[in-house]
Amino acid sequence: MASLSEEEQQARETIRYLVAASRSVPGGALASAREDWRAQLAWWGSQGYHGVTLPPEWGGQGKSFLVQTMVVEALAEADANLALLYEVHNTLHLEAVWRYGDEAQRRRWLPDLLAGRRLGGFAVTEEEAGSDAESLATVAVPEGGGYRLSGVKRMITGAGWYDQYVVFARVPEAGITAFVVEADTPGVGFGSPEPMLGLDSTPVADITFEGAWIPEDHRLGELGQGYAIALDLLDGGRVGIAAQAVGILAACLGRSLAFAQQRRQFGRPIARYQGIQWMLAEMATDFAAARLLTYEAARRRPEGERQRPLYAMAKWFASRKAVQHALNAIQIHGGRGYLRKTGVEHLLRDSKVTELYEGTSEILRLVIASRLLNGYNWDSI
């Protein structure tokens, strides 16, 4: 795996500088008020960091997907809530409009999405359709130059918080199709946010569609193309969640290293004890491996479906190691690590969900194994 180019290194330094600068913006330091996240994401839009992969003539920076991945990583090291909200807006929603929207749709939605004036979510999960996305029950029945949308999406990140959503529904006799649905559309409703183990500043709730009428010009891509669109976007999403896990790993390592050198027991810093050193060494090695794998997956994102096993590998490995070393970070901090006020235990609570959303660890292993058994060139990684 190649090291960062000079341009990529400069981009990473700029991003880390911006993360530090953003702490003066409302929501910049582990805020709990969800309104603050809107201010944060609007600020990142003002800095040009929404849609960084889009060409400059469309308002982007023309950067690689790796640069966008590094933004997610840096944000997650500071706060995984903000990293997730940024990742969904960019990797799943904004990319959907850019990749599958026609010119009129791009001109309608991209300026506000790029500026952060409007924020976009992604709604595919249902009661019986999570990993099995082909089993969607939400329907979009053609009617009067548009579609009547009926059904329920479950546990949607940012439900009731984002301004618009990419929604997947089944069109009779055509198949799964993607739509952009604005939050204030009549017939669209939102449940109460679910209390969660971690990411407790991120709203997650159900979205209900009770005969919501969606105009034809809100359909993304072709009729029946929705399943392929969802899989393509989730490939990028898996790299984004891998980056979130890498950011959490960075926080585990940074906090553990600093604490181990400061905390003294029996007359010397606990970092001088072999048991602590071994945990730090393993944490640093797994962090480096997860970051390299995630960066490589981000670089190969333009190859699309062909590298789907690599995207799965990055998310599976990084998320697994984030959970493991969040536990180790608590152990290194001892009793203090168990206290909420020290801000270490939330790394464990925030890390666990990276093994669950956008492909559970079990599903990812099936993706990897099935491709290996069907001729995927693992030696090309």
Catalytically annotated residues: 358
Nearest to 334 by CA among 261, 256, 258: 256
* Tokens (6 digits) for 231: 């899989």
Positive or negative torsion for Cα 93, 99, 105, 108: positive
Distance, in Å, from the CA atom of 72 to the CA atom of 295, rounded to the nearest integer, reads 12
Distance, in Å, from the CA atom of 117 to the CA atom of 230, rounded to the nearest integer, reads 25
Write the CA distances from 143 to 149, 172, 216, 348, integer angstroms.
10, 12, 9, 48
Query: Are 60 and 114 within 8 A, CB to CB?
Result: yes
Q: Half-sphere exposure (CA, 13 Å, Cβ side) for 275?
A: 5
Strands (E), 146-295: 146-157, 164-171, 175-182, 188-190, 204-215, 219-220, 264-265, 268-269
Distance, in Å, from the CA atom of 168 to the CA atom of 152, rounded to the nearest integer, reads 11
Distance, in Å, from the CA atom of 268 to the CA atom of 289, rounded to the nearest integer, reads 31
Write the CA distances from 341 to 79, 210, 336, 338, 346, integer angstroms.
15, 43, 9, 9, 10
Write the CA distances from 85 to 31, 41, 214, 249, 366, integer angstroms.
13, 8, 25, 19, 27
Distance, in Å, from the CA atom of 4 to the CA atom of 12, rounded to the nearest integer, reads 9
Distance, in Å, from the CA atom of 159 to the CA atom of 204, rounded to the nearest integer, reads 6
The phi and psi torsions of 163 (rounded to 5 degrees) equal: -85, -25
